[in-house]
Chain A
Amino acid sequence: EPEVTQTPSHQVTQMGQEVILRCVPISNHLYFYWYRQILGQKVEFLVSFYNNEISEKSEIFDDQFSVERPDGSNFTLKIRSTKLEDSAMYFCASSGRDRGGKLFFGSGTQLSVL
């Protein structure tokens, strides 16, 4: 069964550094997402991406965050200047055109900001 893959599985960085989290969505999907889950808290929506542009973003997704689909397969989340509170599990997800909220999630990248 096709799956969403994310790399790396763990990322440790120093506060103020830039990180790029990488995802390969399911190949025929059209919508791509980033969610995050701070330890012990709810899964939170960050951003959705469709047709090479952001279609929706949350209040969390401020100017330090950006997303990109640099080629036909990868989907990246960049955090420009990491803060301690950015430490979380970041999930990439994708969905087909008519599948609504039926998202396929990757296994996540655990980001630790020291």
Chain B
Amino acid sequence: EDKVVQSPLSLVVHEGDTVTLNCSYEVTNFRSLLWYKQEKKAPTFLFMLTSSGIEKKSGRLSSILDKKELFSILNITATQTGDSAIYLCAVEPEGRRALTFGSGTRLQVQP
């Protein structure tokens, strides 16, 4: 059974801080790892990672994958209150379409 574990479960920071969110996984026949941001309702796509060691970057957000250690991190620099959300990590197995999600990290950025 595929499994995704995220840490921490919850995090409170102040604006301008840098945060690192963690995701470890177990999956049969790995294809990709994905990060989503969930604010009020629908998860919105952030990154898809398929190869180890290659950083994906979008503005203040970046993510990297370690396929040997079965681990990914999501970094957010210079956090803003608009970054407050639940960040979800998910894995996609090869040959299948079902994503397995972790429980998420609830990030709260205080002014």
> In residues 33-67 of chain A, which contact B (Cβ within 8 Å)?
33, 35, 41-45, 48, 50, 55-56, 58
B90: chain A residues at CB < 8 Å are: 43, 101
Return the chain A residue nearest B4 by Cβ: A42
A107: chain B residues at CB < 8 Å are: 41-42
Contact of B43 among A41, A95, A105 (CB under 8 A): A105
A43-B90 Cα distance, complex, nearest whole Å: 9
Residue among A42, A101, A105, A108 with most chain B CB within 10 A = A101
Q: Number of contact residues on A: which range applies?
A: 20 to 34
A55-B102 Cα distance, complex, nearest whole Å: 23
B45: chain A residues at CB < 8 Å are: 102-104
Q: Number of contact residues on B: which range applies?
A: 20 to 34
Contact of A31 among B97, B101, B102 (CB under 8 A): B97
B31: chain A residues at CB < 8 Å are: 100-101
Return the chain A residue nearest B48 by Cβ: A102
Residue among B92, B98, B104 with most chain A CB within 10 A = B98
Cβ B101 vs Cβ A48 within 8 A: no
